[in-house]
Structure 1
Amino acid sequence: MIAKKRYNYFRILALPILLYGLFAMHSCYAQEHPSLILTKKGVSEIRTQLGKLPLFDSSLAAVKAEVDKEISTGIHVPIPKDYSGGYTHERHKRNFLMMQKAGELFQILQDEKYAVYVRDMLMEYAAMYPKLPLHPQTRSYARGKLFWQCLNDANWLVYVSQAYDDIYDWLQKKDRDLLEKTLFRPMADFLSVGNPQFFNRIHNHSTWGNAAVGMIGLVMDDDELVQRALYGLKNDGIKAGAKDNDGGLIKVEGQRAGFLANLDEPFSPDGYYTEGPYYQRYAMYPFLIFAEGLHNLRPELKIFALKDSVLLKSVNTLLNLTDADGEFFPLNDAQKGMSYYSRELVTAVDIAYHFGGNDPQLLSIARNQDRVLLDDSGLSVAQGIRDGKAEPFVKTSINLTDGPDGKQGGLGILRYGNDVLTLVFKYTAQGLSHGHYDKLSFSLYSKGDEVIQDYGLARFVNIEQKGGGNYLKENTSWAKQTIAHNTITQNEITQFGHDYETANKHHSDLYFFDASNPDVQVVSAKEDNAYPGTGLHRTMAMIKDDNLEKPFVLDIMKVTSNKRNQYDLPFYFMGQVMETNFKYTSPTVLKPLGTANGYQHLWVEGVGGPASDNIKLSWLDQGQFYTLTSATDAQDELLFTRLGADDPEFNLRRDAALMIRRKDTQNTVFASIVEPHGSYSPVSEFAVNATSSIKNLKVVYDGADYTAVTIEDTKGKEILFVVTNRDASVKSVHQLKIGDKVYKWTGAYHLFGE
């Protein structure tokens, strides 16, 4: 019912009569320029504040130095021929970035050399564009003209629209007419009606396309283009079953399209973007910059208020999806190291502050970024920082829902202290074509360091030597496969059979999330569709016990199935192995673990088995010791693996894992602890508390209704953690007899003996 109401809202908004009322008013008066991002009022205020705002002044000086240097090299508009990272690709990319900045400098400094630079560059493009065929590289599902894919052509137009707006009034009318007739309108048509498979879908690609067409439409005061951008194409012409480069279904029958649909569908009410934080970061620029243009030129849309202000809310959400160093958690397709220092997040933070109520916590992020936009929003941020309004951005434990209605799974983040320990627990929807098959996976961080890692993507972005800077085949054969993640793989088969359409129909479900007690925080979720006839229920708790130096993570993975299977659970640890409490043999000749589904990429470096009912692996990384303790069965197989098999071009990192393999088993529980402890200084050469403080971990009860484990430390203290398996109500009263003792508690879980 909610979804229907939401759909009706946008459908009603799109009615021609209402649209006529919304847009016709703009033909009654001449539109002033600049007004898309920079405004005349804002430019006037900026000029009066020059020399008074240190952060704005330093940002302006840096941009001026960069653009002046670029102008001195002349104008370069080569015929397109390269993939990402190649000369022509990078040249056209640099051109649109420089034009956008030069336009701002012209408005702020009133120096015509910047307008001349933009005009002359645009005239070169206007002379070239009508004669350009499709880009000669054929890999993309939607080839561009300036670039190998329409996505980058859309990037170009989003940035250049701003430059055109900045010099619009300075240009002669004949020049404007020429640019609009031979360059801007043809490009807008090419990106939309010429490539409906790119423009008319729900995806970050389409968001860029929608924004590009809409923004140039706003500058040219072309309501047809603006309407097309907001609501998509009516007759899109997409072939049934068409897929993009990543194997994602491009069009589902009856699917809505356009900017408003892309705002509504991928974002949850919490501001989580279903493709993951890496692509949310990338998409935030067109989302927010086009929204700012709509706010300035189509205020009747109230764009920043739509869906409970989800665009502004999403900025805070995205900042919460970072580690202590500001780097985004690499969920789904994601390049590690991308952070809130990127240009997209400078834009996002400034716009969110300016239009979202001047949240002082955003100012501390902007201060870290050490630069602001050269527009109205950047001015507001610089003023707030100058006036001492900045407050620390506090990241807390948070549960973020996924899906347009918040009912398609989610992401649980548990934090102890100031990122002393951070757990990222993924139970989301598939994540569109950039999603991975890793339901109920997790990663773990200590400060900004990875402890248990997620691989991210298999791609060297914009490095031409590696597949033209594009996705490598190993992204499909490894990075998306279930075995590449810290979760269960059954019978060496990837979840959902590695079938996108099947996976896209399902999501995991939150069982409960509780971070009310900072010393005992718990998230629990279930997955019933990844493998036919098998249910996965994972509960993860972050616990700070007075007897232990640091907080630790308890992991309980309960598996129930209608038949006997093989279960593999890997832990991709980062660092140097210190010791184990089990024996293993290392082969003299390395062999792959399997032949498909990612197993073909794993060398087997060691094979062993438990010597007791607990196994331990200790390692050292970044000056800190860690120990994995797992409750094991006597028949379990322990495998040390290392990535790199079947990789003749060295496209994959050589990451290590310890894998617990449990064969011929129907129902079972994997219980483990990841324990940070001690430290090592290479300067003092002292190792402090280098051994684990956990003596024993034991599953003492497992049934349909409850699972319980005991944790004994080296000082003899024992605690019991019990979780319900069927009733997550916080009010339900439970009773369980274990041995001779009866335990009573209220709620979905309890920790006894703390």
Structure 2
Amino acid sequence: MKLHFYILSILLIGLSSCKEEPTSQADLNSQSQHPKLILTAQGVQDIRAQLGNIPIFDNTLKKVKAEIDAEIENGIEVPVPKDYSGGYTHVTHKRNWLVLQKAGVLYQILDDEKYAKYVKDMLMQYEALYKTLPLHPKTRSYARGKLFWQCLNDSNWLVYVSQAYDCVYNYLTEAERDKLETNLFRPFADHISVDSPQFYQRVHNHSTWGNAAVGMIGLVMDDEQLINRALYGIKDLKLDANKKDDDGGFLNKDGKAGFLANIEEPFSPDGYYNEGPYYQRYAMYPFLIFATGLHNVKPELKIFEYKDGVLLKSINALLNLSDADGDFFPLNDGQKGMSYYNNALVTAVDISYYYGEQDQGLLSISEKQDQVLLDDSGLAIALGIKEGKVKPFEKKSINLSDGPDGNQGGVGILRQDDVELVFKYAAQGSSHGHYDKLSFSLYENGEEVIQDYGLARFVNIEQKGGGNYLKENKTWAKQTIAHNTVIQNETSHFNGKYEIGSEHHPDLHYFSSENENIQVVSAKETNAYPGTEMLRTMVIIKDEDLEKPYMLDIMKLTSDKSNQYDFPFYYFGQVLETNFEYQVQETLKTLGDKNGYQHLFLEATAKANDGNSKFSWLNNNKFYTITTATTNRDKILFARIGANDPEFNLRRDPTLILRRKNEKNTLFVSTIESHGSYSPVTESAVNSKSSISELKIVLNTNDYTAIEIITINGNKKLFITANNSASKEAKHTLKINDNSYQWTGAYYFK
């Protein structure tokens, strides 16, 4: 209550004495009126009218005010740059960009001059420092900044500081603005763009930040040259299209650059971002913040309608790429634990609600985030929650296409009760992509059952490679053996070559989620290994004979020569039981010497059963079982990550690998079921045994594959998938063991 009285008292003083408030709607709409980018002059009036009556907004304001008051009390520090990510100077400048943005907003909302003075004083210190700076002393980056070791972080700084400058623009004198723009902002924008074309002239999340930085400061200063440079890139700039950057990407390869190109190329029509959800989350902030500025200052561009409104679509896609806890699936270079609680997703949710169709499910996510933006969109969220409009955000099975036109593969997510299957059949994913065609991961209630490793990096932890990518990201995390898919002859897909992988993509065979009891995604890859075709069909089945939905996995391989195939399952937990005998290695050795195999310790080996091999484990007090169709010619390998890792950069996670040698055409078929639970309090185990007694391949031809699943109570279910004609309208007639089957569509199940 004290805060509310304090705010209201400030309001009364501010509203009676503020000389900068517009006096008409025409003034409010004027491009010369500030603030105008994210927080608008009209938004300031609307927010002030609601203060003390919008709980989530008021609480956010209270926290931000306490944070910035403490920063003001501590004084300003603008150190000479010298560190990598995680180092003192890096962290200080990073904190400063956040503090400046928040202090500018507080000045507008609370009309307290101390915040404007703080912003001005810090900006003047940056002006004095910046004009003396050479390139950053750390030389690792392909595009060095001045405040930071890479232009990317310089761009981060300018995106946020542009908002601060917008908020205090009218507080500053014309001479002060001229000084800042001449000595700080324009040189800063020029260094990011003109001086660093290898960073700026690309289609990549780095360039998106650069485009947004240049464009936003251009919008504040009404500088059309900078705005156009942001939207369309630098014209008539000569670049070596064959020169690689340090991420493995090509510079200006297609002659496209600028903000609009960065919307056009990476996003599919469904809103999937080709670098994956981790980097989509990172890129969404500059995408949406600059788009908001363009919407407010240059509405004629209709930026939120560009490419059929893909920016707003992408937020829904991104939210659907998270598990039950809101953590993003770690596709490509993704750090586990990144979630929609990140500040970039607060921005995404608020902007999506305000500028989109006001999806009331977004309000439930905002409630979980427990904060809003202190701007027009945050006010809209706060009012929606206050007015009781909140509805759950429902995540259902979804297929997200990849590629600018939606024809370069995609990601299929099957959801049934607490089970989530993520099937990745996407394109390479730019420089952050992994060699993992037709890979999958499996979740139960937000917990990993079968994991994707993600990236090999400790972001912003200076002791681990300066917080940057570790060499093991290339030697392990990107390699195919690090993923749950087929590896042929111990060689990664596309031989681990970015240039080759970027030319190809899998193709969707079919996706079906209409039947709530059986959901299927199937895709084909023909280029990962020349002469070999991979067709993988993954199913989530809800069957009354089993306690929970289970996964059926069918990987069909057709090759023009005999190969060795490895098929890993990266599980978590404690081995409980197998129906095969295994021999533990007395001395650990590596599984191979290259393509990621050098990072696996071989712990045990086994000869597979003729029929079915079963493997059970315990994790998070739940029981899991893999049942896989095998012959006695197959081998089973127990392995663990961590070999050839002298600095302990890799997690010591286990894997079970099914190995099949000297086969041309073959079929891997498995089920994974979650069953029962264990209570460490009562020390009781419930339903600890598998409910599937047998898994049979009853037919495998060029046209059809049929799998029979027999439960412990003797019930039989048959799943048939069409390997060629898989449209919803296709009619099929098939005879198996004197039984005839007829159906319409891609699959049969009964």
Shorter-normalised TM range? over 0.9
Instruction: State the partner residue of 1:742.
Output: 740
Letter in 2 for 1:289: I
Alignment TM-score, normalising by the size of structure 2: 0.95
Instruction: State the partner residue of 1:430.
Output: 428
**2:201 counterpart of 1:189:** no
Instruction: State the partner residue of 2:277.
Output: 277
How big is the shift at 1:622?
A: 1.0
Which has the higher mean CA deviation after the structures are superposed, 683-692 or 725-734? 725-734
Matching of residues 226-375 of structure 1 within 5 Å:
226-252=227-253, 254-375=254-375
Instruction: State the partner residue of 1:590.
Output: 588
Letter in 2 for 1:318: L
Instruction: State the partner residue of 1:14.
Output: none
How big is the shift at 1:236?
A: 2.9
Instruction: State the partner residue of 1:203.
Output: 204
Give the conservation status (yes or no) of the 8 Å contact 1:694–1:714: yes
How big is the shift at 1:743?
A: 2.2
Instruction: State the partner residue of 2:178.
Output: 177
Partner deviation per Cα, 1:186-241 (whole Å, 9 max, x = no partner):
01011111111111110000000000000000000000000000001112332232
Instruction: State the partner residue of 1:444.
Output: 442
Q: 1:677 aligns with which of 640, 663, 675?
A: 675
Letter in 2 for 1:348: A
Letter in 2 for 1:640: F
How big is the shift at 1:683?
A: 1.3
- Using the alignment, how far apart are the partners of 1:243 and 1:183 within structure 2? 30
Aligned pairs, number: 723
How big is the shift at 1:574?
A: 1.3
How big is the shift at 1:30?
A: 6.3
Structure 2 counterpart SS, 1:663: strand
- Using the alignment, how far apart are the partners of 2:41 and 2:636 within structure 1? 67
- Using the alignment, how far apart are the partners of 2:255 and 2:517 within structure 1? 45
- Using the alignment, how far apart are the partners of 1:388 and 1:611 within structure 2? 59
- Using the alignment, how far apart are the partners of 1:180 and 1:602 within structure 2? 55
- Using the alignment, how far apart are the partners of 1:488 and 1:217 within structure 2? 50
Instruction: State the partner residue of 2:607.
Output: 609
How big is the shift at 1:242?
A: 2.0
How big is the shift at 1:29?
A: 7.2
Structure 1 counterpart SS, 2:514: strand
Instruction: State the partner residue of 2:749.
Output: 751
- Using the alignment, how far apart are the partners of 1:324 and 1:243 within structure 2? 38
Partner deviation per Cα, 1:526-584 (whole Å, 9 max, x = no partner):
00000000000000010011111111000000000000000001000111111111111
Partner deviation per Cα, 1:723-749 (whole Å, 9 max, x = no partner):
111111222222222223222222211
Give the conservation status (yes or no) of the 8 Å contact 2:609–2:630: no
How big is the shift at 1:357?
A: 2.1
- Using the alignment, how far apart are the partners of 1:573 and 1:672 within structure 2? 14
Partner deviation per Cα, 1:370-400 (whole Å, 9 max, x = no partner):
0000000000000000110010000000000
Which has the higher mean CA deviation after the structures are superposed, 732-741 or 560-569? 732-741
**2:460 counterpart of 1:462:** yes
**2:102 counterpart of 1:107:** no
- Using the alignment, how far apart are the partners of 1:671 and 1:648 within structure 2? 37
Instruction: State the partner residue of 2:578.
Output: 580
Instruction: State the partner residue of 1:10.
Output: none
Partner deviation per Cα, 1:581-605 (whole Å, 9 max, x = no partner):
1111111110000000000000001
- Using the alignment, how far apart are the partners of 1:358 and 1:706 within structure 2? 45
Instruction: State the partner residue of 2:158.
Output: 157
**2:711 counterpart of 1:710:** no
Structure 2 counterpart SS, 1:312: helix
Structure 1 counterpart SS, 2:38: coil
Unaligned runs of 5+ in 2: 1-26
Structure 1 counterpart SS, 2:131: helix
Unaligned runs of 5+ in 1: 1-25
Matching of residues 2-151 of structure 1 within 5 Å:
31-151=32-152
Give the conservation status (yes or no) of the 8 Å contact 1:242–1:251: no
Instruction: State the partner residue of 1:18.
Output: none
Give the conservation status (yes or no) of the 8 Å contact 2:487–2:493: yes
Structure 2 counterpart SS, 1:640: strand
Structure 1 counterpart SS, 2:513: strand
Letter in 2 for 1:446: E
- Using the alignment, how far apart are the partners of 2:575 and 2:245 within structure 1? 41
- Using the alignment, how far apart are the partners of 1:651 and 1:375 within structure 2? 41
- Using the alignment, how far apart are the partners of 1:444 and 1:611 within structure 2? 25
Which has the higher mean CA deviation after the structures are superposed, 617-626 or 89-98? 617-626
How big is the shift at 1:684?
A: 1.6
**2:492 counterpart of 1:494:** yes
Structure 2 counterpart SS, 1:163: helix
**2:526 counterpart of 1:525:** no
Instruction: State the partner residue of 1:6.
Output: none
How big is the shift at 1:158?
A: 0.1
Instruction: State the partner residue of 1:407.
Output: 407
Over the aligned positions, Cα root-mean-square deviation in angstroms equals 1.1
Give the conservation status (yes or no) of the 8 Å contact 1:249–1:501: no
- Using the alignment, how far apart are the partners of 1:626 and 1:245 within structure 2? 41
- Using the alignment, how far apart are the partners of 2:731 and 2:637 within structure 1? 41
Letter in 1 for 2:312: L
Give the conservation status (yes or no) of the 8 Å contact 1:196–1:237: no
Matching of residues 628-707 of structure 1 within 5 Å:
628-707=626-705
Give the conservation status (yes or no) of the 8 Å contact 2:240–2:251: no
